[in-house]
Structure formats: structure tokens, C-alpha cells
Amino acid sequence: MPKSKHKINADLKPLIVRIDTLKIDPDNERGHDKKNLTSIAAALDKFGQQTPIVVIKKTGLIKKGNGTVMAVRDILGWTHIARVRFDSDDPVAITAYGITDNRTGELATWILPNLQASLITVKDGGVDLALLGWDSQDLDPILAATWEPPPTSDDPIMVYETIRVTTEQFNLIEEICKTITEDGKPVPMADALVAICQAHKSG
């Protein structure tokens, strides 16, 4: 019997099975390109498998973790993975679970000041931030930002939201915002964007 190869949390040991007994879902709603799989593989190689994948009990079809299995099998060369079994034969429930598991994660939002602090902590601890699945285009503005203190009851409520743009788009936005001035001086980019939007709205 060939020697198994994997890096799995010891608490998941009773759930470990051979990867070749499982089936990738051909109808998986989520796509995994090379960049995504490389990121998944890098994280699992660094931290190991900490949560099990989910498969259909009778068939071994993967309903959560297709990307994980493809990454560890094809990139890391793992032969085993930890899994739990979805204990239902209802195809509607099985499909709904797969969609819901993916979608609920997308509905969460980042608390950006907290994210910044966590990123700095792991970076200072020697962790390569590329392992976290972020591009420098996403990371650099977050790491460089200065966050305002929480508003008092008399202050307007601040909403922190990241808008992803290309370098070319950002340069254009920055160039236009610099034309918005007060007393001959450029105003903060957020104020400039509001002024531009208000002018557009008023026609």
C-alpha cells in the first residue's frame, strides 16, 4: 500500500479517506481557476486542513471542497483528505446546501479597520500575505489607510467599503478628484467623489 501524503489536523483523523474514493462534482456551481487553486494549495500547505470537506454519503460526490481537493491532489500531491458525509439522499437538499454554503460566505463584509490590524499582525509575524489570497492591489490601500475613530452620536455614520478598480481607473479617478478644490487646495478624495456625484445628480 502506498504511503499516504497529507497535512491534516489530528482532530480530523477519524474522517480521513483516500482522495481517489471521492468524486469531483462536474456540476459544481463554483469555478476554480489556476490562481484560485494555487492560493488554496499555498494556504493548505502552510496551515494544513483544518475543516473537513462535505461529500454525499452514498456516492462520495463532493458538495463542499471541490477546489480544496483539486488543489491538494493536483498541486500538493496529497493522497488523503478529511471529509464528513451529507446524510441525505434528497437531490434538492444536496444542491441547495452547496449553493447556500458558498453564498452565505459572500454575504459577509469586512470590518476594514479590524482587517488592517490583523493583516499587520500576521505580516509582522512573518506570514507571507500572498498566502491569504489577496493581491497587492487589494492589500496596499488597506494597509496604508488611516481609519477615523467611531462616530459620536452627533457625527454622521461612516461606511467603510472597498471598491476594486484597475490602476488605470484609479489614476483617472485621482486625476479628476484633484480638480475639486476648496480655498485653492485639493479636498479629500471622498469629499471630491461626493461633490462629483452631487453635480452629476443635479444635472
Question: Exposed (0-12), middle (13-18) or buried (19+): which is 8, by Cβ within 10 Å?
Answer: buried
Given a contact cutoff of 8 angstroms between Cβ atoms, the answer to whether 63 and 98 are in contact is yes
Tell me: pLDDT of 187 over 70: yes
Output the CA–CA distances (angstroms, integers) from residue 130 to 8, 41, 101, 121, 126, in the order listed: 21, 12, 25, 14, 12
C-alpha cell at 79: 493522497
Cβ partners under 8 Å of residue 38, min gap 6: 71, 75
Considering the chain, what percentage of its residues have pLDDT values greater than 90? 36
pTM tops 0.85, yes or no: no
Residue ranges per domain, the chain? 10-107, 112-201
- pLDDT recorded at residue 127: 85
- pLDDT recorded at residue 2: 43
* DSSP string over 9-27: -GGGGGGEEEGGGSB--TT
- pLDDT recorded at residue 8: 96
Tell me: pLDDT of 71 over 80: yes
Position with higher pLDDT, 79 vs 140:
79
- pLDDT recorded at residue 159: 65
- pLDDT recorded at residue 193: 84
Tell me: pLDDT of 85 over 90: yes
Averaged pLDDT score across all residues of the chain: 86
- Over residues 99-124, the pLDDT tens digits come to 998 888 888 888 888 999 999 999 89
* DSSP string over 83-108: EEEE----HHHHHHHHHHHHHHHHH-
Tell me: pLDDT of 196 over 90: no
Fold exhibited by the domain 10-107: 3.90.1530
- pLDDT recorded at residue 184: 80
- Over residues 33-46, the pLDDT tens digits come to 998 899 999 999 98
Tell me: pLDDT of 10 over 70: yes
- pLDDT recorded at residue 1: 35
Pick from 53, 114, 49, 110: which is nearest to 85 by CA? Answer: 53
- Over residues 145-184, the pLDDT tens digits come to 887 766 666 656 666 667 777 888 888 888 888 888 888 8
